């Protein structure tokens, strides 16, 4: 008999579950303040939806044995975009939706075997808003949600910002046969791959310089303008970043513009985001997202509504980062209610009912206790706040 969960799956203890719930509740409260409504996308989807038009590789999706091609969702966005474009097609745009649920991933381990992972995710989707104002709203909401988590200065939160269009513009000047490989080398931070591309030396030096071009947005935008000229995308991106600079600074979140940054899933075709914090042993990515207009366009018949942007928080990464320092009240431990003698259980059940009616947590001691001291000992073993002993 197997005594351990499947590789990549985890058993969560009550404290971990409670911590996850408190984090989710903090985030949900902020989403609702901003006018977002909760939805519940299905755990099982058609592979055509999960693949998001090739944006998510087949090996990243856990397939199910079924009569039609089905799998477990590796993220929440594609399912929500599908539902918004079909079942919610008659609702006024923009749609502001949020969801929380487990996502499932598949990866190949060092030994070559398949491994699975499951993560709890909470996030928002803003659908049907084409203008850059939606990107700015998204970033403000992300920062507002971060403000509820109680991050400390030692976490050194950094919001990485990139843009799909920047990469397109930067590789457009390369010979056509080198653009795809040049883009892959930049996003995977691979100087060796750049060194072997059949490029003029000036192009090679520029790509090498791009690998190190990240940091304070104004400085990076200035350098990009020297290379690309005064293109509208740079002005729009500068305006968006300037609009969130103040709230980011007030929270101690550093903004970092990185033209080569792209998330693992290739869902995005505009602004992309990742919030990284310093953990005890290594950096932790606690949120990511971006704009995904083309994905919505796959499900949406109206081109004017083919727009979407969103982000997701990795709840368990936040829990690992914060430990027991999660904001909000800690649920009180229950009382242990114990009886003695033949009628002890009936007395204890009646007392527990009274306490529950008053909103007080209490649990039953299922064995008779001969004394208060014995009841106190059992309460301490069970982590209760104390014992209420009811002698017959």
| Structural element, H or E, at residue 256 | strand 254-257
Q: In this structure, are residues 137 and 127 in contact, taking their beta carbons and an 8 Å threshold? A: no
- pLDDT tens digit string along 145-200? 999 999 999 999 999 999 999 988 988 888 888 899 998 899 888 999 999 999 98
Looking at the predicted structure, is the pLDDT value of residue 79 above 90? yes
Q: In this structure, are residues 143 and 247 in contact, taking their beta carbons and an 8 Å threshold? A: yes
Q: In this structure, are residues 47 and 69 in contact, taking their beta carbons and an 8 Å threshold? A: yes
* 386-390 and 44-46 beta bridge pairing: unpaired
10 Å CB burial of residue 293 (0-12, 13-18, 19+) is: middle
Q: In this structure, are residues 371 and 390 in contact, taking their beta carbons and an 8 Å threshold? A: no
**Residues contacting residue 184 through CB under 8 Å, at least 6 positions apart:** 190, 193
- pLDDT tens digit string along 361-392? 999 999 999 999 999 999 999 999 999 999 97
Using alpha carbons, select from 100, 142, 149 the residue that is nearest to residue 309: 142
Q: In this structure, are residues 363 and 314 in contact, taking their beta carbons and an 8 Å threshold? A: no
- What whole-number percentage of the chain has pLDDT above 90? 64
DSSP 257: E
The Cα–Cα gap between 366 and 362 comes to 13
Q: Is the peptide bond before 94 cis (omega within 30 degrees of 0)?
A: yes
Q: In this structure, are residues 326 and 354 in contact, taking their beta carbons and an 8 Å threshold? A: no
pLDDT, residue 388, reads 96
How many CB atoms are closer than 10 A to CB 358?
A: 7
- pLDDT tens digit string along 104-122? 987 766 666 677 888 999 9
How much is the mean pLDDT over the chain? 90
């Amino acid at each position: 008999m197997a005594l351990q969960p499947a590789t990549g799956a985890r058993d969560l203890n009550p404290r971990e579950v409670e911590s996850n719930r408190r984090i989710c509740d903090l985030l949900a409260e902020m989403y609702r303040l901003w006018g977002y409504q909760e939805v519940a996308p299905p755990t099982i989807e058609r592979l055509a939806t999960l693949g998001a038009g090739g944006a998510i590789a087949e090996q990243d999706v856990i397939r199910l044995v079924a009569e039609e091609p089905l799998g477990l969702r590796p993220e929440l966005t594609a399912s929500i975009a599908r539902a918004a474009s079909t079942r919610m097609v008659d609702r006024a745009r923009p749609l502001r939706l949020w969801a929380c649920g487990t996502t499932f991933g598949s990866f190949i381990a060092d030994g070559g075997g398949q491994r699975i992972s499951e993560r709890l995710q909470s996030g928002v989707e803003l659908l049907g808003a084409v203008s850059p104002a939606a990107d700015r709203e998204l970033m403000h909401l992300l920062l507002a949600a971060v403000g509820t988590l109680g991050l400390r200065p030692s976490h050194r939160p950094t919001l990485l910002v990139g843009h799909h269009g920047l990469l397109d513009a930067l590789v457009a000047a390369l010979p056509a046969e080198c653009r795809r490989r040049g883009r892959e080398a930049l996003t995977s931070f691979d100087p060796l791959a750049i060194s072997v591309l059949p490029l003029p030396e000036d192009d090679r030096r520029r790509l090498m310089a791009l690998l190190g071009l990240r940091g304070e947005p104004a400085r990076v935008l200035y350098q990009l303008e020297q290379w690309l000229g005064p293109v509208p995308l740079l002005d729009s991106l500068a305006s968006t970043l300037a609009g969130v600079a103040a709230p980011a600074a007030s929270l101690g979140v550093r903004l970092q513009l990185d033209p080569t940054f792209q998330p693992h899933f290739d869902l995005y075709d505009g602004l992309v985001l990742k919030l990284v914090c310093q953990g005890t042993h290594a950096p932790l990515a606690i949120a990511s997202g971006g704009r995904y207009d083309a994905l919505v366009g796959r499900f949406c018949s109206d081109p004017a509504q083919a727009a979407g942007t969103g982000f997701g928080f990795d709840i368990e990464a936040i829990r690992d980062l914060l430990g027991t320092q999660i904001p909000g009240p800690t649920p009180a431990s229950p009382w242990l209610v114990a009886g003695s003698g033949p009628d002890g259980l009936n007395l204890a059940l009646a007392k527990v009912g009274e306490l529950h009616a008053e909103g007080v947590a209490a649990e039953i001691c299922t064995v008779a206790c001969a004394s208060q001291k014995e009841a106190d000992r059992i309460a301490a073993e069970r982590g209760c706040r104390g014992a209420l002993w009811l002698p017959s």
